[in-house]
Chains A and B, each alone.
Chain A
Amino acid sequence: MKRYRNLAVIAVVTTISLGTFFTKVAMSESKLPKFYLKTENGDSKYAKDLMISAGYDQSGGSGGRSLTITTDGSEYKDRNSMLSELDSDYYDLKKLDHLRKKERNFMRGKLSSSQFYIDKDYAWYADVKGGKLGGTYEHQNNHFKMYIDGLDLHNKDRFKFKLDIPEEENYSYIYVQDVQLIGKDLIVTTYQNKTDVVKDKTTNSNINVDKNELVMYRINVNQKKIVDRTVINESSNDQNTHTHTDIQNLIQDSDETVPSKFDVYKKVKLKDTVQTNGETETEELSNEVIILNLETGKEENLNLSNEQKEQLMQSNVILDKENLYFITQSDKDLSVLKYNLNNKKVEGETVLIKKVDSNNLSNYKVIDGKLYAITNSTENPGKFNKDLIVADLANGQSVFEGKIEVKKSKGDPSKALKKLQIYDFKVK
């Protein structure tokens, strides 16, 4: 049997070594702390569908592991597994995952939730594709085309067509930001990027100047053609004053697929200052909220006094259904002003939410008239709380208070919490 010694040794050592490795990997997975969202006050129903995405930073530069935390517990993403990707839910919205199960063929290749429009009768999706094979883009001539796909949710009729985009050859990049259905018209809002080559007078060299546009296409679904194209707003880029404007499309905060009669944009004027160390610092000079009524196709003004406008310049604007929320942060609390787009006026008084420690605020959202805010304290030694507060915006009262706790960990729970970094949260 001496002749088989080498093979036997190799086989045994290999099996043990690989076996140990995979057991150790499994064990290290189970050693990772388990988190959950604990209800401390109020009704846990507000937090039930909440999914918090976070990162857990392991020791020794081995990188973070991303995970999701719910009231039930936490789940780490298997980062090296291609298989684990296969059967996972694609979307951040539960209803899209449902739709995928029901309408598998319609949902093919439709990945971005903001490009969906879903009401009780129809589901629509718009996409712009172009560029070169392999996903690279030129400054011009990318042959962009718009792909529209609609589904009658009752009789399962499909409305699928392809559209030529006017002037597409001038753009270096186009992507769909929002889709809305108004009557028989599909309103597709795109973000388009144009690169102009400008000759710099002083150095006599060519420089590329990026220009962003928001373009609204009104597409007649029956005629399958674009009936109207409006460039809503162009960003401007002034080389001399180093200022430029950006347009941000405010889409529905909690669910981008829901119908909305309004598109809301925020136009921000920014100034770049090159600092001594060579880095560029950008400073916001002013901003302006633009409301577009999709039914009339007309711009509407914010029905606010100049004083209010000035005040709200420092606020974050959040769109939830037909309400705009202006949220202003101060040291101790958040103040929220509600503006109804349908009635074109401010509704109610400014609400103060005191429970939110806005120093450590990492993220907040308005969902169904409630403010969801999560704090992410990593600085404060000894106290690394991740608190979640849900407040009713009608009265500023908190309806839910909770925090992330460690379910099971060998070490100190606060150490585990210290390594936890909150990124975002969603209602599934």
Chain B
Amino acid sequence: MNRYIKLVNFEVNRFFKLYIGLLIIVAISQFVSLFLVKSKYMQAANDANYASSMKATERFISSSGLLTFNQVANHLLFIGPIVICIALMMFYVFIIWYRDYFGKNTFIYRLFMLPTSRMTIYFSKATTILIMVLSLLAFQLILLPIEINVFQQIVPSELLGKMSTIDLFMNSNIFTMILPSNFMDFIFRYLIGMGLVFTLFTFILLERSYRWKGIIFGILYVIAIAGLLLIPAFIESYLFGEDFSFYPSEVFYMELGLFTIIITVSILFSKYLLKNKVSV
């Protein structure tokens, strides 16, 4: 097995305890939200005395609607842990480098003295981020059918609006954001995500290379990248006059090209910094 796989494995194992912790938090919190949503709805249903007659049931449904899992999926305790996971993964982009520098032992010495190109280390860290994000997503996907099943068991069938996992992803909620149901969209979404990761890595390496000055360079770099992405919009509104506009496909291909440039530049820049500037 080559050193890249070994490093990815190593990084994944380092994250593993936190990962398991996250999974448990997500599962518990979401199951709690399930019961909360159900009991709140049932409270209203019982207040309306829905079970007294067919008519009462109908009246209640027409005023309050059926109870669907979508309502659970919008509950704070359901979305909360997902947001926490997203925030934590963003944070982990930084942690994955800084934890090697700080702390009781300076592992960065060992990492930088491995008989492997530093880009292997760089890519293994990026890969770890991607794997962890996708696996959290996968876990949610495994959890959802179970949650939906439990939910549909505990809600009286006459008040239940049935829904499948797929239906959930067709609705507008947090899931359409984190997992587009169209495969190509999914690929592009996560390509953009990785562009962000590489940009942040460059930021971190700039800081590690030039310290305080590096933070300023890093901020300038991030601004430059944001500026680069705005080029099509800039061209559209300032360069060719007010009544010029791009076709959406043109904008898309321009942005795709810019993203390729950004990822390439970020990687090459990081490579330069890792080779020539970064210090333990």
Quick check: do A and B touch in the complex, using CB within 8 A? yes
**B137-163 interface with A by 8 A CB criterion:** 137-139, 141-142, 161-163
**Interface-located stretch among A8-16, A221-229, A393-401:** A8-16
Collect the chain A residues with CB atoms within 8 Å of residue B161's CB. Answer: 59-61
Number of A-B contacts (CB under 8 A): 125
Collect the chain A residues with CB atoms within 8 Å of residue B68's CB. Answer: 60-62
Collect the chain B residues with CB atoms within 8 Å of residue A28's CB. Answer: 164, 166
**Bound: A17/B135 CA distance, A:** 9
**Bound: A28/B169 CA distance, A:** 11
**Bound: A86/B12 CA distance, A:** 38
A17/B242 in contact, CB under 8 A: no
Residue total for B at the interface (Cβ-Cβ under 8 A): 49
CB-contact partner of B135 in A10, A22, A60, A83, under 8 A:
A10
Given that A7-B8, A18-B137, A63-B170 are contacting pairs, would A78 and B252 also be in contact in the complex, using a CB cutoff of 8 Å? no
Interface membership of chain A positions 1-31, coded 1 if the CB is closer than 8 angstroms to chain B and 0 otherwise: 0011011001101101110111011001000
B246/A108 in contact, CB under 8 A: yes
**Bound: A3/B246 CA distance, A:** 52
Interface membership of chain A positions 65-104, coded 1 if the CB is closer than 8 angstroms to chain B and 0 otherwise: 1000000000000111111111100000000000000001
Collect the chain A residues with CB atoms within 8 Å of residue B172's CB. Answer: 63
Interface membership of chain B positions 155-197, coded 1 if the CB is closer than 8 angstroms to chain A and 0 otherwise: 0000001111111111110001001111111101000000000
Collect the chain A residues with CB atoms within 8 Å of residue B168's CB. Answer: 62
Q: Is A127 an interface residue (CB 8 A)?
A: yes
**Bound: A147/B240 CA distance, A:** 14
B138/A25 in contact, CB under 8 A: no
- For residue B204, give the distance in angstroms from its CB to the closest CB of chain A: 24
B134/A60 in contact, CB under 8 A: no
Collect the chain B residues with CB atoms within 8 Å of residue A104's CB. Answer: 247
Most chain B CB inside 10 Å of its own CB: which residue of A13, A58, A61: A61
**Bound: A175/B135 CA distance, A:** 50
Q: Is A109 an interface residue (CB 8 A)?
A: yes
Q: Is B62 an interface residue (CB 8 A)?
A: no
- For residue B222, give the distance in angstroms from its CB to the closest CB of chain A: 23
- For residue A277, give the distance in angstroms from its CB to the closest CB of chain B: 15
Q: Is B115 an interface residue (CB 8 A)?
A: no
CB-contact partner of B185 in A24, A80, A162, under 8 A:
A80
Collect the chain B residues with CB atoms within 8 Å of residue A18's CB. Answer: 134, 137-138, 141
- For residue B246, give the distance in angstroms from its CB to the closest CB of chain A: 7
Collect the chain B residues with CB atoms within 8 Å of residue A59's CB. Answer: 161-162
Given that A24-B165, A147-B243 are contacting pairs, would A6 and B16 also be in contact in the complex, using a CB cutoff of 8 Å? yes
B249/A86 in contact, CB under 8 A: yes
B138/A17 in contact, CB under 8 A: yes
**Bound: A176/B181 CA distance, A:** 38
**Bound: A145/B241 CA distance, A:** 13
**Bound: A86/B171 CA distance, A:** 22
Collect the chain A residues with CB atoms within 8 Å of residue B137's CB. Answer: 14, 17-18
Which chain B residue shows the least CB distance to A64? B170
B138/A83 in contact, CB under 8 A: no
Q: Is A355 an interface residue (CB 8 A)?
A: no
CB-contact partner of A109 in B167, B243, B252, under 8 A:
B243
A79/B131 in contact, CB under 8 A: no
Q: Is A149 an interface residue (CB 8 A)?
A: yes
- For residue A32, give the distance in angstroms from its CB to the closest CB of chain B: 11
Interface membership of chain B positions 76-117, coded 1 if the CB is closer than 8 angstroms to chain A and 0 otherwise: 000000000000000000000000000000000000000000
Collect the chain B residues with CB atoms within 8 Å of residue A63's CB. Answer: 170-172
Given that A10-B135, A17-B141, A149-B243 are contacting pairs, would A62 and B181 also be in contact in the complex, using a CB cutoff of 8 Å? no
**Bound: A13/B163 CA distance, A:** 24
Most chain B CB inside 10 Å of its own CB: which residue of A13, A14, A59, A63: A14
Q: Is A129 an interface residue (CB 8 A)?
A: yes
Most chain B CB inside 10 Å of its own CB: which residue of A3, A7, A24, A78: A7
**Bound: A59/B65 CA distance, A:** 13
B135/A81 in contact, CB under 8 A: no
CB-contact partner of A129 in B142, B163, B242, under 8 A:
B242
B182/A80 in contact, CB under 8 A: yes
Most chain B CB inside 10 Å of its own CB: which residue of A4, A80, A82, A129: A80
Collect the chain A residues with CB atoms within 8 Å of residue B8's CB. Answer: 7
Most chain B CB inside 10 Å of its own CB: which residue of A86, A145, A162: A86
B70/A61 in contact, CB under 8 A: yes
Most chain B CB inside 10 Å of its own CB: which residue of A16, A65, A79: A79
**Bound: A86/B243 CA distance, A:** 21
**Bound: A138/B34 CA distance, A:** 45
Collect the chain B residues with CB atoms within 8 Å of residue A79's CB. Answer: 170
A7/B163 in contact, CB under 8 A: no
Q: Is B244 an interface residue (CB 8 A)?
A: yes
- For residue B23, give the distance in angstroms from its CB to the closest CB of chain A: 11
**A175-233 interface with B by 8 A CB criterion:** none
**Bound: A116/B131 CA distance, A:** 51
B181/A162 in contact, CB under 8 A: no
Given that A85-B248, A86-B248 are contacting pairs, would A14 and B135 also be in contact in the complex, using a CB cutoff of 8 Å? yes
Collect the chain B residues with CB atoms within 8 Å of residue A16's CB. Answer: 138
Interface membership of chain B positions 1-22, coded 1 if the CB is closer than 8 angstroms to chain A and 0 otherwise: 1000000110011001000000
Known: A6-B9, A79-B170. 4 other contacts (CB 8 A): A25-B181, A61-B161, A82-B185, A84-B182
12 pairs of residues in contact across A and B, judged by CB atoms under 8 Å: A10-B131, A13-B135, A16-B138, A20-B141, A28-B164, A60-B161, A62-B68, A62-B163, A63-B171, A63-B172, A80-B169, A80-B181
A: which residues have CB within 8 A of B?
3-4, 6-7, 10-11, 13-14, 16-18, 20-22, 24-25, 28, 58-63, 65, 78-87, 104, 108-109, 127, 129, 145, 147, 149, 160, 162
Leading 7 A-B pairs by shortest Cβ distance: A109-B245, A17-B138, A62-B167, A81-B182, A14-B138, A86-B249, A147-B243
